[in-house]
A and B are shown apart, each in its own frame.
Chain A
Amino acid sequence: MVRLEINGLPVTAEKGETILEAARFLGFPIPTLCHLDGLTPYGACRLCVVEIGEGTKAKLVASCTYPAEEGLVVRTGSSRVVHARKMVIELLLASCPQSKQVQDLASAYGVRWQRFRQEHEECILCGRCIRACKEQMMAGAIGFHGRGEKRALGTPFDKKSDVCRLCGACMYVCPACELRCTYQEPEKAICGGCANLEAPCLEKESFDDRMCFLDPCMACEIRKEVRKE
């Protein structure tokens, strides 16, 4: 057992647990996006940041990957943490407003607007699909390509995958294509409407053959309309 302090309370955690696991077990709420129970934590979205340490040495770390260590002092809701989280949510709204998970986070944290140039990206590169494919479905058909602005995800060299079994786990766990917000107000970031007409799946041409859990996925519905014309 490891003894540490969370939000001023002395608590214990199992050896090998992360701060997120320990905090959530004890009931402290910490938002996450790229984290999913059953997948190894990745630390991409930075929503789960908490403040550790004290004074000038205090810093923010991703609680999903930081181990709960003996003697650690953790604050899950300090003003520095909340300010950082709000900025992360603002950046998310600026990139992927159509995701319901992002919308929910925005309303939970009181983020009403975003001040950047509005984009509508299909993917926030959280890596959940990659980890689900590799760790739960034991296929490993997709991964990250490239770096920085050019970072994307897909199959090796974007070629048709031999190991993809069309199970749809990637779509199931995706926070961006999970449940699209259906309110139509395209100019604003909040309730930006469905601006995605392309489902971010592996093979866009044979999408009709896909075993899909999302019923109805707006992308699928809208595409059918477009196809009819």
Chain B
Amino acid sequence: MSDRLKSIEELRGLRDRLRLDRDPEVPTIIIPAGTCGQASGANDLIRIAKRELLAGKLTDQIHLCITGCHGFCETEPCVVIEPHGTYYPKVGIREMERIIRAIRQGKVCEELLYVDPDSGERIEKKKDIPFFRTQVRTLLSRGEKIDPIRIYHYIENDGYSALAAVLAKRDPGWVLEEVEASGLRGRGGAGFPTGLKWEMLSRQPDGRGKILVCNADEGDPGAYMDRSLLEGNPHSIIEGMIIGAFATGAEEGIVYVRDEYPLAIKHLIIALRQARDLGLLGENILGSGFSFSLDLMRGAGAFVCGEETALIQSIEGRMGEPRQRPPYPVQRGIDGKPTAINNVETWANIPVIFQAGAGSFKQTGTPGNSGTKIFSLVGKVRNTGLVEVPMGMSLGEVVYNIGGGSPGKARIKAVQTGGPSGGCIPSGKFDLPIDYDSLARAGTIMGSGGMIVMDEQTCMVDVAKYFMNFLKDESCGKCFTCRKGTQRMYEILEDISSGKGRPEQLHLLKELAEVVKDTSMCGLGQTAPNPVLSTLQYFSDEYLTHIEKKRCPAGVCKNLITYFINTKCVGCQLCAKNCPAEAISGTKKEQHLIDSGKCTKCGACKTVCKSDAVEVR
């Protein structure tokens, strides 16, 4: 349908023509409809908005734009009105109609605005909301006003202009220098300097067929930054990869997406087709003489395939099992060809570097850690969502200023960073700056950017057990120490959390964890002991209480707790009615009793009790 763009001038001409058509003053209803938005009901809001705009013949006066996730997941489904920047959180179906009416009258629905829980004030603009205020949303903001499956939106908003600038200079060496000067480090977790990796790839002799890969496997439970980027702005990754191909001499590229991301896959397929149709992928891109083809490949449900050598095996059609390095993928990768693998977020940073310039990119962050990082802030914190902050911001700032602190009365105890391979940082160390080296020194890793907040009601032994359970199932099983070690560590943690722990097992756990870390071949095994080692280091008192006193201080480990009704009970019988095990007895207005033999410790009684009479001991 669209003509191929044959030159940089044609691309710029298209962009200028698209901009002429748009009047920036026209109000636009933006409805974020990423996976979480859709799950919260954004599709109903879209349906109603379309209906109202068509019925009222308003489509010229009010525009509608469906975008990817805006990051404040706690408030989804939300609606944003540009150009004012009005933010409506948790919009219901009835409220959508009122919002449209208000826009027609040029007004704002005061009663639907966000309320700051600390001050009680209503805040109109998104940028003033505490969650957003201190973030630096360089990457995420690029997707917040565009429809991800309309390439024209992307181009109109300066999309592919970085590529144009790179191709106009006709100097791959300059591109490599800029990436190196920017100080960009791999956002997949290891933090390897991207410029160095690309330089190593470009030095490989041509003619062997170099390949670029985008690692979109994102296996960490609780991490969804890459999903958000792929759903909301797939073209930014495509643009990054084309620039990378130009710089390193790669001719083909693969985006390896985990199969569990259907919306990201759908948007990528559409975006790739659009880019090919416009001539931004394929032969002789924009008349520069350089060619690059990009394809999609779906994962098959293995966490270990996020590891780069296992990913290569998977692409080759084999079982996802890591390989010994050296030789490194840049020397011998897919089918023996030199391959450079980068994370989604790393690719998304490339157009930013070439639009703003490497020097400007380096201004954000700290020395040795330039740019921003997206974190998925989840757990026992008020404002859950995707947070993009400059490297070097302290953990405390993220958890308290942006995250809003604890949602209830329980005190925040720790933050786990880096997914199942990461360690826990106790709240006493929340002044730690978030950068690769500081986190590594503290016994954890940056990882892909998961940040799980834990409070006094989280049992750290249970946390270690939970992650070890995940890792023992996801280990590929090749290395004897990783496979058996994760199983045995889980066994010991199970013993401890069920009250069968013995004091000598603590020492054994630490010894085993250290050997697994030392002898495993790939990153999975090398980092699997981190949750255990860091909780042993910072929360050893909890372990000792489980072992010596057979008690779980946080009230989580089922074998060590009993549910008990105290004298605050008014006898309303709500708990008895809600107990799935029929374990509560008692007459009206009398203190009820829980039969601990029947009690399954599900916690339903505690949730429904209005008198705060259920205790966990």
Task: Please list the residues of chain A having a beta carbon within 8 angstroms of any beta carbon in chain B.
Answer: 42-46, 49, 59-62, 65-67, 69, 80, 83-84, 87-88, 91-92, 94-95, 115-117, 124-127, 144, 146-151
Contact = CB atoms under 8 A, between A and B. Distances in A.
Contact of A43 (B479, B483, B505): B479
Contacts of A148: 472-477, 483, 486
Contacts of A94: 484, 488
Given A43-B521, A115-B504, A148-B472, A91 B324 contact: no
B481 interface: yes
22 contacts: A42-B478, A43-B324, A43-B479, A43-B521, A45-B480, A46-B480, A46-B481, A46-B519, A46-B520, A62-B519, A65-B324, A69-B326, A80-B518, A91-B488, A115-B505, A115-B508, A144-B477, A147-B304, A147-B475, A148-B473, A148-B486, A149-B483
Nearest to B324: A65
Interface in B482-505: 483-488, 491, 504-505
A4 to B, nearest CB: 14
Contacts of A115: 504-505, 508
A46 B326 CA distance: 17
B168 interface: no
Given A91-B488, A116-B491, A147 B473 contact: yes
A15 to B, nearest CB: 13
A125 B483 CA distance: 10
B476 A147 contact: yes
Contacts of A46: 479-481, 519-521
A70 B319 CA distance: 32
Contacts of A127: 478
B519 A88 contact: yes
Contact of B480 (A44, A69, A117): A44
Contact of B481 (A66, A83, A88, A151): A88
B477 to A, nearest CB: 3
Given A43-B521, A59-B518, A88 B480 contact: yes
Interface in B327-376: 327
A118 to B, nearest CB: 12
A84 B326 CA distance: 22
A84 B518 contact: yes
A84 B516 CA distance: 9
Contacts of B26: none
Interface in B504-525: 504-505, 508, 511-512, 515, 518-521
Residue among A87, A94, A125, A144 with max Cβ neighbours from chain B (10 Å): A87
A148 B479 CA distance: 10
Q: What size tier do the contact residues of chain B reach?
A: 20 to 34
A45 B485 CA distance: 12
A171 to B, nearest CB: 20
Contacts of B481: 46, 87-88, 91
B478 A44 contact: yes
Residue among B473, B477, B508 with max Cβ neighbours from chain A (10 Å): B477
Closest 9 CB pairs of A and B: A151-B477, A87-B515, A65-B324, A148-B475, A46-B519, A148-B473, A60-B518, A46-B481, A91-B484
Interface in B456-482: 472-481
Contacts of B412: none
B285 interface: no
B329 to A, nearest CB: 15
A20 to B, nearest CB: 12
B477 A62 contact: no
Nearest to B495: A117
A149 B304 CA distance: 14
A149 B480 CA distance: 11
A91 B476 CA distance: 18
Residue among B478, B483, B486, B504 with max Cβ neighbours from chain A (10 Å): B478
Nearest to A144: B319
Residue among A66, A144, A148 with max Cβ neighbours from chain B (10 Å): A148
Contacts of A60: 518-519
Contacts of A151: 476-477, 483
B492 to A, nearest CB: 8
A59 B519 CA distance: 9
A126 B484 CA distance: 12
Nearest to B471: A148
A126 B511 CA distance: 23
B302 interface: yes
A176 B476 CA distance: 21
Contacts of A61: 324, 521
B614 to A, nearest CB: 36
A220 B481 CA distance: 31
Given A84-B519, A88-B519, A144-B319, 9 more contacts: A43-B479, A46-B480, A46-B519, A62-B521, A67-B327, A84-B518, A91-B484, A115-B505, A127-B478
Nearest to B502: A115
Contacts of B518: 49, 59-60, 80, 84
Interface string B576-604: 00000000000000000000000000000
A91 B485 contact: yes
Contacts of B326: 66-67, 69
Given A46-B481, A116-B488, A147 B515 contact: no
Contacts of A144: 319, 477
A61 B302 CA distance: 24
Contacts of A146: 477
Contacts of B302: 147
Nearest to A88: B481
